[in-house]
Structure 1
Amino acid sequence: MATTLISKHPTGPAKTATGFPHVISITSGKGGVGKTNVSANLAYLLASMGKRVVLLDADLGLANVDVILGLTPQKNIFHLFHENAKLDDILFPTPYGFHILPATSGVSDMLELDTGQKLELLESMDTLENRIDYLLVDTGAGINDNVLYFNLAVQERILVLTPEPTSLTDAYALIKVLKAQHGVERFRVVVNMAKSMAAAKEVYLKLHMACDQFLSGISLDLLGVLPHDPNVRASVIRQQPFTSVYPESPASMALAGVARRINAWKAPTQLDGNIKFFWKKLLFQD
């Protein structure tokens, strides 16, 4: 099991032993596809590989990373904006070897960040930038401003979808907006809750064909397929990661393969790999 400690290094570049941190969004065109569960379990698996991982709950007004994990943080990003909390006051260690930056639920003024709030985030993240290997960003669903902001700021985007037709059309809509309005062209795809490998490949190919036909230049790589697995629902009820509770289950084995592929990605060596730049990109989207 990886250490949960993220040590402080107040000076020096935002560089890990192998390069700058990976900053990755886990996103979706619609809710109900298991995006947050995938995010939390990826965080657990990467931490189990000895990586220093922070999971940011970027569904700022409808947060549920803490619910998925059965945690009760006392502070969240709301307190950063409204109660002068520091990032280390908010950063919450989980029993699973990684930390979360929790958001809040039912607070309407968190649904869209203004420029001042982005600046606060930028300044606070300076303390984190050289202390982690992975920042995973669990975005909200859909194409609202916050979802677009976070997907624009990261290095890699993992798009979670299911074989349902609405999931496919909404995933395409998110890709279309990011491509047409912001020039984003590279996406990784995880098909979740697949009843068969054939069904998963069919939905991926449909999305790939639509992008090829209507959105030239899109790179759409199939990162993994997670089968429908009753153990996933059982773990959600237990409020624990399914990869921790049922490590030999089909979904766990499949997601472990996804985590290994992510861990094999070459570490960023450019400035846009650092966390400060992640927040600067958010700030200057206005």
Structure 2
Amino acid sequence: MSRAYPLVLSVTSGKGGVGKTNVSVNLSARLAAMGRRVVLLDADLGLANVDVLLGLAPMYNLFHLFHEGVDIQSILLETEYGFRILPAASGVADMLSLSTGQKLELLEAMDSLENEVDFLVVDTGAGINDNVLYFNLAVQERLLVVTPEPTSLTDAYALIKVLKNNHGVDRFRVLVNMVPDEKTGRNVFATLYKACDHFLDGVSLDLAGTLPADPALRQAVVNQIPFSAAAPEAPASKAIDAVARRINDWQPSTQLDGNIKFFWKRILFQEQSVA
């Protein structure tokens, strides 16, 4: 069953190595299994690896959109897990920082997909570079992936701080990954919540879920298969399914917040029709 309006979600992090891309791939697979039309955009443009996690060898990627005029439909790649990916290039310096024109070109190209997508999952890079900030501004919801490592929390806080203070973003969802148990995950979330509540005025954090450290994840990565498909009964698979079900219930915002969004023309049209 398709949604009346697509929900655009970033999966992001302040620090690399927290399992962000693995979360993106498995969330996409579980949402597709619920009958949703899902596109996963690999927005880690210079260090892309969504295709690697899936064992795919794309003919085209976003480099070809920007530099060779290949259309978005030709770049889209079907997976055997029910969702499509928009792959990016790896090891291409030209992709590390998109120009203003390229940012607008991507948004224009994505507009052609608005009637065939229920969820656009945007797997960003890590940190606070220009591309990471841009993609987090262009989405409706931000899923921030953290782990119990102190550096993961400090870097996540830094990303929240930049987005809030410099761009007015005040709402984040948090997924705590690689935890020994749910209690630890909730404590990690509480630590981040308290820091934001104390130092950043008006930031809203919601816990989207926790994912346990699970041997099934490592083996699935080696085999280039989503862990939720390779080991559906594993604790991590059940946990990501629960997170996907919560996300499936999220309602997309149809309000512009001053930042240019994916499918912004449709949002603008709806605002004008309501007015």
Shared fold (TM-score greater than 0.5)? yes
Interval of TM-score (by shorter of Structure 1 and Structure 2): over 0.9
Q: Which amino acid aligns with 2:79?
A: T
Indicate the residue corresponding to 1:215 in structure 2: 200
What is the match of residue 186 of structure 2?
201
User: Counterpart of 1:114 in structure 2: which amino acid?
Assistant: S
- Cα distance in 2, alignment partners of residues 280 and 78 from structure 1: 27
Q: Please say if residues 42 and 124 of structure 2, whose CA atoms lie closer than 8 Å, have aligned partners that are also in contact.
A: yes
Unaligned runs of 5+ in 1: 1-15, 282-286
TM-score by length of 1: 0.89
Quote the Cα distance in structure 2 between the aligned partners of 1:47 and 1:135. 11
Q: Which residue of 2 aligns with 1:88?
A: 73
Deviations along 1:226-264, one digit per CA (max 9) or x if unpaired, are: 001000000000000000010110000011000000111
Aligned 1:1-286 pairs, distance under 5 A: 17-270=2-255, 275-277=262-264
Query: Residue 138 of structure 2 contacts residue 261 of structure 2 at CA under 8 Å; is this kept in 1?
Result: no
Determine if contact 1:29/1:171 at 8 Å carries over to the other structure: yes
- Do 1:21 and 1:132's aligned partners in 2 also have CA atoms closer than 8 Å? yes
State the Cα distance separating 1:274 from its structure 2 match.
7.5
SS of equivalent residue, structure 1 residue 151: helix
Given that residues 93 and 99 in structure 1 are in contact (C-alpha distance below 8 angstroms), is that contact kept between their aligned partners in structure 2? yes
Q: What SS does the aligned partner of 1:253 have?
A: helix
In structure 2, the partner of 1:12 is none
Instruction: State how far apart, in whole Å, the 2-side matches of 1:205 and 1:152 are.
Output: 25
Question: Helix, strand or coil for the counterpart of 1:130?
Answer: helix
Residue 268 of structure 1 deviates from its aligned partner by 4.1
RMSD of the alignment, in Å?
2.0
Residue aligned with 2:169, SS: coil
Task: Tell me the TM-score normalised to structure 2 length.
Answer: 0.92
Structure 2: how far apart are the matches of 1:279 and 1:109? 30
Instruction: State the SS of the aligned residue for 2:41.
Output: strand
Shift in Å, 1:122: 2.5
Identity of counterpart residues, as a percentage?
A: 65
CA contact (8 A) 1:43 1:98 kept: yes
- The CA distance in 2 between the partners of 1:179 and 1:279, in whole Å, is 25
Divergent runs of 4+, >6 A? 271-274, 278-281
Counterpart code for 2:263: K
Are 1:129 and 1:274, in contact at CA under 8 Å, matched by a contact in 2?
A: no
- Structure 2, unaligned runs of 5 or more: 269-275
Could you report, residue by residue, the CA deviation over 1:118-148 in whole angstroms, capped at 9, with x for unpaired residues?
Answer: 2321221221111110000000000000000
- Distance in 2 separating the partners of 1:254 and 1:163: 17
**Match for 2:34: what amino acid?**
M
How far does residue 17 in structure 1 lie from its aligned partner after superposition? 5.0
Amino acid at match of 1:277: W
Residues 1:167 and 1:210: Cα distance change in structure 2 (over 3 Å): same
Count of aligned pairs: 266
Deviation per CA, 1:82-108: give whole Å up to 9, x if none. Answer: 111000110010111000000010100
CA shift for structure 1 position 81:
1.0
